[in-house]
Amino acid sequence: MKRKASVVFILLLLFSSFSSGCLSEKIKEVLLEENHGIPGSLSMACLRSDKHTNLEFEIVYEAGYRPETSSINLLKERISDVCDKPSGIQFDYIETTFPSNLESWSADDVREQGWALKDGHPHNTNTLQWQILFPSGTYEDESVLGVAVDASTIAIFKDSVEEAEGFFGRPSAEEVENSVIVHEVGHLLGLVNLVYESPRPHEDPDHPGHSNNDNSVMFWAIESTSLMNFITGNLPNEFDDDDIADLNDLKNENIAITDQLWMP
């Protein structure tokens, strides 16, 4: 039985402390030392074209878990709007089988499985490479639909996305996936305040790394006053004006950025 939308969508854009901007200094230090970076550590590599003229998303999925075409099309549109990639944005699909014991995934599991499949470091060539895993099973906290675990790796849990579909299919699982994939890649871009401090007060003080605007795809959760909009299928799937302004400021070096694995 599907969960009630009023419960599920409060959890829609929540994700683990490994990707929420609440990383402990110890975890950050380890990820940076391993050259894996934290979410946002390859923000400038995406926003600018000084070295990386194109972006390749490696879509790694188990049989039956390939992402919706609409999710990939939407992601390409959203990233094209903010990242300077004159040679284009490509998607490379890889079907695989993850270890059978991984029914409940941790952030470490996502990182380990992702890096086992990576061919070199994501920013070593002119092609910036980001990776999205679509495994069977759920995150260790089953309310989590997606996680960003380092500078180049995220996972979307389609089993949980299916459970998040609202009554009468509104919003549909496809619409949920559309929003979640853009949300998580938004964290790879550093949103919100993961590797910088915005001059705009749009980060929710109680939920670091998330927007306080329910019209932004980076919104931390659904407030009761907006719940009916979400039930009718109107999930946010766009970066709002503050998100865009932050990314433009980063691209133009108008605000300071930290923890970068590559800088122009």
For residue range 106-138, list pLDDT tens digits in order: 999 999 999 999 988 999 999 999 999 999 999
Nearest to 252 by CA among 210, 185, 196: 196
Cα separation, 179 vs 161, whole angstroms = 10
3-class DSSP state for residue 60? strand
Structure tokens at 89: 């944005």
Per 3-state DSSP, the chain is made up of helix, strand and coil in percentages (nearest 5) of 35, 15, 50
DSSP state, residue 133: E
Among residues 187, 73, 181, the alpha carbon closest in space to that of 133 is found at 181
Question: What is the reported pLDDT for 232?
Answer: 54
Reported as type and span, the H/E element at residue 154 is strand 153-156
Give the whole-angstrom CA distance, residue 41 versus residue 152.
8
Confidence at residue 165, expressed as pLDDT on a 0 to 100 scale = 77
Q: How far apart are the first and last CA of the chain?
A: 51
Provide the pLDDT confidence category of residue 26 given band limits of 50, 70 and 90.
low
Q: Output the pLDDT for position 105.
A: 97
Tell me how far apart the alpha carbons of residues 116 and 210 are, in angstroms, rounded to a whole number: 29
- The reply to whether 259 falls in a domain is no
What distance in Å separates the CA atoms of residue 147 and residue 155, rounded to the nearest whole number?
Answer: 5
Tokens of 33: 């030392």
**In Å, how far are 30, 141, 249 from 193, measured between CA atoms?**
20, 24, 12
* Rg for the chain, CA atoms, rounded: 17
Summarised one tens digit per residue, pLDDT across range 50-101 is 999 999 999 999 999 999 999 999 999 999 999 999 999 999 999 999 998 8
Quickly list H helices, 118-225: 158-163, 173-188
Whether residue 46 lies inside any domain: the answer is: yes
CA quadruple 149, 191, 78, 213: dihedral positive or negative? positive
CA distances for 102 relative to 99, 125, 135, angstroms: 6, 32, 9
Task: Say how far apart CA 257 and CA 255 lie, in whole Å.
Answer: 7
Q: Which residues of 116-134 are buried (b: 16+ CB within 10 A; e: fewer)?
A: eeeeebbbeeebbbbbbbb
The tally of domains found in the chain comes to: 1
Q: Is 66 a domain residue?
A: yes
In a domain, 261, yes or no: no
pLDDT tier at 2, thresholds 50, 70, 90: very low
Q: What is the CATH number of the domain that holds 150?
A: 3.40.390.10
Does residue 136 lie within any of the structural domains?
yes
140 located within any domain: yes
DSSP of 83-149: S--TT-EEEEEEEE---TT-SEE-HHHHHHHHHHH--S-TTSSSEEEEEEEE-SSEESSTT--EEE-
- Kindly report, residue by residue over 185-244, the tens digit of the pLDDT: 999 999 999 999 999 999 999 889 999 998 999 987 633 223 334 555 578 999 999 999
In a domain, 152, yes or no: yes
In a domain, 182, yes or no: yes
State both tokens at 90: 């490509």
| Residue numbers of the domain that contains 195 | 5-251
